[in-house]
Amino acid sequence: MRRIFIQFYLTLVISFIGAIALAGAIYGQVVDKVSDRYLNDIFRATVSLLQTTLSEEPVDQWNARLDTLGLSLPYPIKVEPLDTYELSADNRAALADGDIVMLAETYQFLQRVPETGYMLTLGPVDYLYFLHEIQSFDYLMLGLAALFLGVPAFAWMRPLWRQLMHLKRVARQLGAGNLDARASLPDDSGVAELGSTINTMADNLQSLIQSRRELLDAVSHELRTPIARLRYRLAMLEDGVADDAREAMDRDISSIDRMIEELLLYSRLDQGHDLLHPEQLTLWPWLNEVLARHGEDFPQACYTLRPTPDSLHDQQAEVDGFYLERALSNLLRNAARYGQGEVAVTLGCDGQHWWIEVEDNGPGIPEAERERVFEPFVRLDHSRNRRTGGYGLGLAIVRRIMGWHGGQASVQASALGGACFVLRWPVTLPRLHSLVPSVRGDEADEAT
């Protein structure tokens, strides 16, 4: 703290003295001009009065006459010969011309009495001595003020220093692996925003580590079953027992491949390092094409595109078509797997947001579980069987894709009796989101 305090104090003092010196210089120039003009006016008025009063007296008798006038002036006045003082050539010339000459050393003012060898001498002026003394006093007061500035500076910096030390301890705890450490600062603290940022970073770090831990746990669990089946079928092949073992093994390998693909996609979406590739897409014909492809893959489901206002048939939306199709496909597959054969899709726009609704006539999702189903590796079929397929990542991928679009994914009850999933995003996409377009060709090849 000592080093920071000294740096802050020196900066404060230098700035303070500089400001005072600048103000003093400006003020001094103004005061000097006003004082000179004021004193010149007084001297001229005094000289004019004396010349008028003493005009009938001989000049060599003016000093005696001044004593009898009883003038109450704050400075002495007398008449002296022109050669009384040693003057510079410029001052002698000015005095000969009748100008007022000031002797800076003694603060005296001189002016020649016209058409004589004498001059009036005014001063020394005690006021000017006082001005000189007050400057020294000012410097003393300035030094004392600079010294006492250290008290409020220290009083202000000490609590701030303690708060910075608190943030330092929290950062060290986080670095040592204590992810529960959080900064606790008063709302009026000067570093409250920094503490809030550190807490947000710690929350995100804790969430990321927890997500990675869940990912590892889920991967180990999901891989265990197909690998065990593969070992069992390899043993059957060696014994020559199963004729269809090769086909079953191929299905197991395909299952592992699809699971790894979803894990990689979710990981990329979770990191979001690359940029979205928005495009202008006419959604109505695009939806018809997507539903037609899914109708071929799931012939047991009846996909229906509900009537949409004619004004939306040719209207284009700004989306990343690749990832929007991936999100919609996940919902359509879920509707086919969990529903009872009826799937309805609705397209809408209110001028600010686009939305796509996917409804099914399945058992639906309990209201208490509607947020949790979007978390990774969450499935409502707690037995974790593969009757309906999936790895618990489909809806998490959907929500993450819509998040990068600046929108959201939600679920509600459907009029068909099952679940109604809604994809909603703004008409104008934000420009700060990122995805991974560079791997689309590889993903397409893997999906194929």
SS3 107: coil
pLDDT average, residue stretch 21-29: 66
> 358 or 264: which carries more pLDDT confidence?
358
Closest Cα to residue 406, out of 435, 381, 386?
435
Q: Evaluate if residue 442 carries a pLDDT over 50.
A: no
Supply the pLDDT for residue 440.
44
Give, as one character, the DSSP assignment of residue 359. Answer: E
> Per-residue confidence at 275, pLDDT binned at 50, 70, 90?
low
Q: Mean per-residue pLDDT for 211-225?
A: 70
Per-residue model confidence as pLDDT tens digits over 360-390:
998 889 988 888 888 877 766 543 344 445 5
The Cα–Cα gap between 59 and 435 comes to 105
Res. 435: pLDDT tops 70: no
The number of angstroms, rounded, from the C-alpha of 90 to the middle of its chain's C-alpha atoms is: 66
Q: Is the Cα dihedral 380, 383, 389, 391 positive or negative?
A: positive
> Does pLDDT of 438 surpass 70?
no
Q: How far apart are CA 446 and CA 440, in angstroms?
A: 10
Judge if pTM exceeds 0.75.
Answer: no
Q: What is the pLDDT of residues 346-363, one digit of tens each?
A: 999 998 999 999 999 988
Token match 């740096």: residue?
7
Give the start-to-end residue ranges of the domains of the chain: 2-148, 271-447
Asked whether residue 78 carries a pLDDT value surpassing 50, the answer given is yes
Q: Between 242 and 228, whose confidence is greater?
A: 228
User: Pick the residue with more confidence: 300 or 244?
Assistant: 300
pLDDT above 70 as % of the chain = 71
CA 185 – CA 195 distance, rounded (Å): 7
pLDDT of residue 44 exceeding 80, the answer is no
| The pLDDT value given to residue 345 | 94
pLDDT of residue 384: 39
The arithmetic mean of pLDDT across residues 204-215, rounded, is: 76
DSSP H stretches of helix in 272-304: 283-297
Say whether pLDDT at 310 is over 60. yes
Which range is least confidently modeled, 185-194, 307-316, 356-365?
185-194
Tokens 């020649």 correspond to what residue? 112
Q: Are 281 and 321 in contact (CB under 8 A)?
A: yes
Tokens of 286: 């695009």
Which of 142-146, 241-245, 428-432, 443-447 shows the lowest per-residue confidence on average (mean pLDDT)?
A: 443-447
Q: What is the mean pLDDT of residues 224-232?
A: 75
Q: Angle, to 10 degrees, between the axis of helix 321-338 and the axis of helix 394-404?
A: 150
Q: What backbone torsions phi and psi does residue 191 show, to the nearest 5 degrees?
A: -115, 25
**Per-residue pLDDT at 355:** 95
**Four-CA torsion 322, 323, 327, 330, nearest 10 degrees:** 60
Best-predicted range by mean pLDDT among 16-25, 145-154, 231-240, 279-288?
279-288
Range name among 155-159, 342-346, 426-430, 443-447 with the lowest pLDDT average: 443-447
Homologous superfamily (CATH) for 271-447: Histidine kinase-like ATPase, C-terminal domain (3.30.565.10)
Contact present, 87 and 105 (Cβ < 8 Å): no
> Is the pLDDT confidence value at 107 over 50?
yes
Residue type, 257: D
pLDDT tens-digit readout, 59-73: 767 777 776 665 666
How would you label 108-142 residue by residue, b for 16+ Cβ within 10 Å and e otherwise? bbbbbbeeeebbbbbbbbeebeeeeeeeeeeeeee
The pLDDT value given to residue 95? 83
Q: What is the predicted pLDDT for the residue at 382?
A: 45
Q: Whole-number mean pLDDT of the chain? A: 76
Residue 147, both tokens: 């010294």
Q: Nearest-CA neighbor of 101 among 126, 129, 121?
A: 121
Section 255-274 average pLDDT:
69
Predicted pLDDT of residue 337: 86
With 60 as the cut, is the pLDDT of residue 23 above it? yes
pLDDT of residue 83: 83
Average pLDDT over residues 302-318: 89
pLDDT of residue 434: 42
